[in-house]
Amino acid sequence: MAEFVNPLGKIRGKFGNVITYGGPSGKNYCRGTSISRKPSQEPQKRQSAAFGTITERKIWMRNAVQLGFPGGNGYPKGFRGFTSANVMDAVTVEKANPEKPFNSRKKAVKEFNGVINYEKLRVAAGSLVIPEIRAEVDMENRRIFFTHEKEEIESVDCFLDDKIYAVLLCKTKYICRVEELGLRGETIEKSVNFSEKIAGEGLVIYVFAKNADGKDVSDSVCLWEAES
């Protein structure tokens, strides 16, 4: 806020982003109004559309996000970390109507569509070594068989008591399920059944590791995605 004495008398009203009003002793005051943060340029709108696409996963992927982004390992905790890891690399932004010119007055969600690349999507991000694990999917019997050969030697960011998790997504039904498979230092042969709700074209499978104190994880890796 600023104050000034105007020899012409009192000034009232709004001039651009400045509002003027009178005060005691004949002084005039002015203050700025807030500037709209609504994106109006194409790069801003594309980024807004990508962010909105990631945000749509906030609720139904919550259990995986909370586990895969513990915070303190270079990524923010929880959904902020999930957004940071994915908004630039896992989303492709396309014009909703490529034949129409860009319109700065339209909302980003009406002008652009964000498309998730589930192979690039990370449900966990950190510095641990990615576990070597295989998944065989039996769609007819709705079963996934996970196998892992135990590791016997620890190394930097690779510990025998790291827990290995699988994340099952159904991208068409908005379902997310997390399964603890076992430890990095043991042989894993585990069968996981899934319901009819997450069968079909929408199934995506990820795995990642998390250390014993829960403070760090590996990057997740997509093991399998149903053909569209």
Contact 182, 190 (CB under 8 A): yes
Strand, coil or helix: 64: helix
Spatial separation of the C-alpha atoms in residues 166 and 220, rounded to whole Å = 9
Return d(Cα 111, Cα 20) in angstroms, integer: 37
Three-class SS of residue 188?
Answer: strand
Burial of 8 (0-12, 13-18, 19+ CB in 10 A): exposed
What is the pTM for the complete model shown? 0.79
Domains, the chain, ranges and CATH?
2-32 (no CATH), 42-116 (no CATH), 134-225 (2.60.40.150)
Each of the 228 residues of the chain gets a pLDDT tens digit; together they read 555 455 545 555 555 555 665 665 565 555 655 444 556 688 898 898 999 999 998 889 999 999 999 998 889 999 999 999 999 999 999 988 877 788 777 787 778 889 999 999 999 999 999 999 999 999 889 999 999 999 999 999 999 999 999 999 999 999 999 999 999 999 999 999 988 877 667 899 999 999 999 999 999 999 999 886
